[in-house]
Amino acid sequence: MKKKIYAPWRHDYVTKTGKKEKSISKDSCVFCQQFAQQDDEKYFILKRFNHSAVMMNLYPYNAGHVMVLPLDHQASLNNLTPETRAEMMEVTNLSLNVIGSSMNAEGFNVGINLGIAGGGGIPGHLHIHILPRWLGDTNFLETIGETKLISSDLVQTYKNLKQKFDQEK
């Protein structure tokens, strides 16, 4: 069991207002560049909607790992229009249904990493992670070997999910 040490004297240091996160501009944002290319198959974009899109994660934590992103380059929920926020939640729900039925997922992890400190690898462009899960999808290889096994081919998973998303309105 991990030990906890309470150190309230560190509060001012970790919340210092002088820290600035590195902001990624729209011009250097990988997501914005991929959306602009209009080559959805190349970038594993599963479906575009009015304000958002769903795409495969090229570095998945698990087979079928997708992300829901606003089409506009925005870093926080506060900067999104109410219509975009609402659509992103509907697209998240749709993604859960599509992935659940097509991949027989037994559960999901859904999350948003806001900012660098929140774990955001691309903090300039908000995205919701959706990871399908199955009982027993972790094993000794990950625990002992510190290696994650992805049991599905990214291209084949894209084709299967794309077909299901194309059937949706």
Mean of pLDDT values over 60-69: 92
Q: Where are the domains of the chain?
A: 8-166
Task: State the CB neighbour count (10 A cutoff) for residue 129.
Answer: 19
User: How far apart, in whole angstroms, are the C-alpha atoms of residue 29 and residue 36?
Assistant: 11
User: How far apart, in whole angstroms, are the C-alpha atoms of residue 140 and residue 147?
Assistant: 9
Tell me the per-residue pLDDT of 80-110, one tens digit each, with 9 for 90 and over. Answer: 999 999 999 999 999 999 999 999 999 999 9
User: How far apart, in whole angstroms, are the C-alpha atoms of residue 154 and residue 152?
Assistant: 6
How high does pLDDT run on average in the chain? 85
30-56 burial, b for 16+ CB within 10 Å, e for fewer?
ebbebbeeeebeebbbbbbbebbbbbb
Is domain 8-166 given the CATH code 3.30.428.10 in the classification? yes
Q: Which two tokens stand for residue 109?
A: 């992890």
Q: Which two tokens stand for residue 146?
A: 């510190």
In this predicted structure, what is the pLDDT of residue 88?
98
Residue 157: which pLDDT band, with cuts at 50, 70 and 90?
Answer: very high
Tell me the per-residue pLDDT of 15-59, one tens digit each, with 9 for 90 and over. Answer: 665 555 556 677 789 999 999 999 999 999 999 999 999 999 988
Alpha carbon distances (Å) from 133 to 53, 95, 122: 22, 14, 23
